[in-house]
Amino acid sequence: MKKYIYPVVVVFMLAALLSCAAEVRADGGCGKMCMYQKSEKMGMDEMLFHKFHMILENAKELGLSAQQIESIKSLKLKTKKDLITKEAEIDLVALDVKTELWKDAIDVNVINPLIDRKYELKKEKAKILVAAISEIKKTLSKDQMDKLKAMHEQKCEMCGRKHMGKN
């Protein structure tokens, strides 16, 4: 039985390597996927932090003031901290659910409120993300938002992908 374990592990490792290689572009590109190429796979939090990165990386081109830059940095840090806290709370509740499920006698009246709490926390997490997106849009002027959108579109064109109109 043990002699079959190593070939199985090798096969799984090869499969993992091949799946990673599939992300490399056939046209010889850098291998990095455009945000819009992977936006269907990205969560709202990943898309938000991509936006933070784009804004701060292109602050000069966007014409951001020192106050706007500081505001965006502060918002990014606060959002990151809030998300870490929510994720930790979600993980703890999930562990409580698992603990209850491991018991010989499962008490549905104990597990159901835990499940409710877990999804309440996920809802709060989504609201944190929406509030951060709203705050970005309040911090940047309409002209700066338009420039940012144009930069996203230009990066998509460089990736060889058609822009999907996402912001």
pLDDT tens per residue across span 4-28: 555 555 555 555 554 544 444 443 3
In a domain? residue 22: no
CA atoms within 13 A on the CB side of 116: 6
Asked, for residue 164, whether it belongs to a domain, the answer is no
Q: Is 33 exposed, middle or buried (0-12, 13-18, 19+ CB in 10 A)?
A: middle
CA distance 161 to 154: 10
Domain-embedded: residue 97? yes
In a domain, 15, yes or no: no
DSSP secondary structure string, 31-59? SPPPHHHHTTTS-HHHHHHHHHHHHHHTH
Residue 27 lies in a domain: no
Calculate mean pLDDT across residues 85-104: 97
- In 3D space, the residue among 121, 89, 96 whose CA is nearest the CA of residue 111 turns out to be 96
14 is a domain residue: no
Residue 2 inside a domain? The answer is no
Q: Is residue 1 part of a domain?
A: no
Q: Provide the residue range defining the domain that includes 153.
A: 33-159
Domains of the chain: total: 1
pLDDT in tens, 121-166: 999 999 999 999 999 999 999 999 999 999 888 877 666 555 455 4
Indicate whether this model's pTM tops 0.85: no
CB atoms within 10 A of CB 78: 14
